Every structure is written in structure tokens, then in C-alpha cells.
Amino acid sequence: MFHSHRLRFLLHLNTLCKPSPNPKISPLLHPKPSSLSIVSHNLFSTTCDKQSFTVSYFKTNCGFSHQAALKASKRVLFNDANKPDSVITFFTNHGFTLSQTHNVIGRTPELLLFDPTTKLLPKFQFLASKGASPSDIVTTVIRSPRFLRKNLEKQIVPAFEAIRRFFTSDQKAIACVIACPTAISDDRVVPNLNLLIDLGVSPSNINNLFRTRPSILSSGDLGSAVEEVKGYGFDPSKTLFSVALLAKRAMAKSQWDTKVDALKKWGWSEDTVVDAFRRQPSIMLRSTEKLNAVMNLWVDQLGWDTSALLAAPIIFGYSLEKRIIPRASVVKYLLSKGLMKKEASLTTPFGLTDELFLQKFVNCFEKEETSRLLRLYQGACKSLALG
């Protein structure tokens, strides 16, 4: 865009400086090419030369296609290889493979104009001072090379210090940055952290957001999401608040509606879904496929009422193969043999540790019955999968 504007400007200048075509005017009166015309022509030539050199450099030294090189040259221009070569050498010397270096340059070609010693090295040193290993630094840059464009003292350091408040050590804070470098490169993070504190969100909840989905903290209009979650009755000082905020912010409304519709097809009303969300907000973080799979097992294969799942929606978060199916087969057998009271909670067995489940529902019977239950428990995945 910049070059097209410049080209039109130069053509306009050249038009102004052309001799008049009017034959009645003496050639002696035709103006000579102005100094402005000469300067503009030279500027245009220089720009074209720079772009030609830049495109060639990207193709030869960075492995870009011609189209990718042209696109990158619209963001950065240079007429010699000294600085770009020094940047590529810097990355190579700090553990980046050639492919990784090309990937970083492709996403942030402006880095080729940076002085490695004054603009890049201090940022690497800062990450290392907080506990990042050389491979951690490579990972961080690859995930978000944009942070290298940020000012160290004015942006990166203050952002890290703001994040550090919610962790018990530099090591844990830097682990968050490595996982999501936008935490120190996105200008919305620090204001959002201050906003959450002002709205009463506890530090432990903010820490949980950093550990589970830090990208939420760089989202726009976070305050409205906080107020919406408060509207469901979640206390911003309690752990479930961050889970609910994550559930509301991690998906588009269309995805949320699809999950609500899936649960309604199994007999839940919209109010029931909201009630389940209030009890265990992580239910809405499960895929539609997982929600349907659990409901199908519970209703169609086991013949149990979905009201039990409403009482313990955390079950939707358990593994079907490793927990729900094996334990369900044991509970179903115990019920059929009268070894478990019909009024007993159907959901309690699913929330126990493996050791406690075996103790209370398998190993507490006579030896022969225990052996049968153990075989059933261990072979349940295959038998229930086959129907």
C-alpha cells in the first residue's frame, strides 16, 4: 500500500514537470526538469532497488516463495545483507534451527532490521534471568516472536512483574510466559489483570486462569464476561468462578448453544443445563461428542435416569474408557444381584479414587464374588464397547 501511494505521487510529480505540449509555446520557454523531479525519480529508483534486493534476500536466505518474499518486502526493506545476516546468525547461535529461524522471520520480518546485541539479546537475557532455559527461550520465541518487538523496560518487564504477583516464584511465572508468550506481549493483559482485581476476582482464580487458559487474559471486553458469570451466582473469590469464566470465554456463543441443545435432546431443560453449569461449570468445557457419549451410556445402555447426572455433572469430565464404563459395569451388576441398595447414590462410585472404589465396591465381598467383579471391572471396556 505504501509503495502504490508513493508510485502515484511520483508519477504525479513527473507529470507536473513534463514540458508543455502546446506548440505555440517556444521550446525555450519549456521548463527544465526540476530538482524535485530528479529527487523523486532517484527516490523511486532507490525504493525499487531495495525491494528487489529484499525479495531476493528472502528467497535466497530465508527459503521464502516469491509470493511470500513480496509480501514480506511490504513490511521491511533493506539494501544490504549485513544486518539481516547478523540477525539470522544470532538466532542460529542461540539454538534455533534454520527452519525455526525462517519460521520466526516469516511471521515477524521486522526483526531483520533489529540490532541483535541491543534489541534481541537483552530480551533473551531477561527470560534467562527468570529461570528460562535456552530451549525454553527458543520455544517462547517460536510460539510468539512478536514479543521480541516489544520494548524491554517499558513493556516486557512491567508485564512480567504484573504476572509475577499471582505466582509463588519466578520459575512458575516464567513457565506461564513460555506456555503463552502473549502474556508479556499483549498490551491488554496488564489492564485486564487490574480489572479482575477491581471486580473482586481472587488472586487464586487469576492464577488458575494463567495456568489453564492464559489467552483469556488478553481478550477484549473481559469485564462483561466477569459480570455475566457473576450473574449466574458465582462468587469471584471461589475456585469455581475461574472455571465458569473460562467456560464462558473459551467458546463462541454458537458452540455454547450447540452443547445446550445436545443436553436438551436427552431430556434436560434449559434451566436444568444452567443448574448443572452452576453446580459444575466444567460441564460446558466438554465437547458435544463427550456429552452425548456419557448420556448415551447412562440412559440407553445402563437405563439410568439423567437426574443423577444433574446431581453430579462432574461425571462428564471423567474418562469413559478408564473410569465411567468399568465402574458402571460393576454398579450395574451389583444392582442386578441385590448387592447394592437401589436407593443408593448412582454417582458416588464414580467420584472415588481407584483404590477406594475397589475397596468399597469390589473387594468387600466373598472371594468368588470379588473375582467375578474384578474380571467384570477389568474387561468392561471391551464388553460395553461391543454393546
Cα separation, 176 vs 210, in Å, equals 7
Whether 380 and 352 map to the same domain: the answer is: yes
Whether 328 and 371 map to the same domain: the answer is: yes
pLDDT band, residue 381 (cuts 50/70/90)? low
Rounded to the nearest 5 degrees, what angle is found at the Cα of 282, between the Cα atoms of 278 and 285?
125
User: Does residue 159 belong to any structural domain of this protein?
Assistant: no
The pTM score is 0.73
| Digit-coded pLDDT (tens) for 232-260 | 999 999 999 999 999 999 888 999 999 99
User: Does residue 64 belong to any structural domain of this protein?
Assistant: yes
**How many of the other CB atoms lie within 10 Å of CB of 10?**
18
Whether 261 and 281 map to the same domain: the answer is: yes
Cα separation, 127 vs 119, in Å, equals 14
Which domain range does residue 73 map to? 1-16+34-80
Q: Tell me what pLDDT residue 12 has.
A: 39
First-to-last alpha carbon distance for the chain, in angstroms, is 63
Whether 66 and 53 map to the same domain: the answer is: yes
Whether 309 and 372 map to the same domain: the answer is: no
Q: Tell me what pLDDT residue 149 has.
A: 95
Whether 291 and 331 map to the same domain: the answer is: no
User: Does residue 341 belong to any structural domain of this protein?
Assistant: yes
| Digit-coded pLDDT (tens) for 113-155 | 999 999 999 999 999 999 999 999 999 999 999 999 999 999 9
Whether 386 and 339 map to the same domain: the answer is: yes
User: Does residue 210 belong to any structural domain of this protein?
Assistant: no
Cα separation, 385 vs 387, in Å, equals 5
Question: On the CB side of 386, how many CA atoms lie within 13 Å of its CA?
Answer: 4
Q: In the chain, how many domains are there?
A: 3
| Across 2-16, 337-351, 370-384, least confident range | 2-16
Q: Which residues are CB-neighbours of 43 under 8 A, at least 6 positions away?
A: 6, 10
Rounded to the nearest 5 degrees, what angle is found at the Cα of 326, between the Cα atoms of 301 and 288?
60
Rounded to the nearest 5 degrees, what angle is found at the Cα of 140, between the Cα atoms of 134 and 144?
150
Q: Tell me what pLDDT residue 250 has.
A: 84
Q: Of 261, 296, 317, which closes a domain?
A: 317
Average pLDDT of the residues in 89-105 = 96
Query: Would you say the C-alpha torsion 49, 52, 57, 58 has a positive or negative sign?
Result: positive
Q: Of 302, 317, 332, which closes a domain?
A: 317
Whether 304 and 333 map to the same domain: the answer is: no
Contact 276, 240 (CB under 8 A): no
Q: Of 317, 336, 366, which closes a domain?
A: 317
Whether 307 and 344 map to the same domain: the answer is: no
Contact 260, 274 (CB under 8 A): no
User: Does residue 240 belong to any structural domain of this protein?
Assistant: no
Is 16 or 365 the better-scoring residue by pLDDT? 365
DSSP 8-state assignment for residue 358? H
Q: Which of these, 235, 174, 158, lies nearest to 204 by C-alpha position?
A: 235
User: Does residue 68 belong to any structural domain of this protein?
Assistant: yes
Q: What is the mean pLDDT of the chain?
A: 87
Cα separation, 291 vs 273, in Å, equals 12
Contact 222, 196 (CB under 8 A): yes
Whether 2 and 57 map to the same domain: the answer is: yes
User: Does residue 336 belong to any structural domain of this protein?
Assistant: yes
Cα separation, 161 vs 263, in Å, equals 43
Is 320 or 13 the better-scoring residue by pLDDT? 320
Contact 316, 286 (CB under 8 A): yes
Whether 352 and 365 map to the same domain: the answer is: yes
User: Does residue 309 belong to any structural domain of this protein?
Assistant: yes
Whether 352 and 299 map to the same domain: the answer is: no
Q: Please report the DSSP string for 54-111 in residue order.
A: HHHHHHHHS---HHHHHHHHTT---SSSHHHHHHHHHHHHTT--HHHHHHHHHH-GGG
322, three cell numbers: 478408564
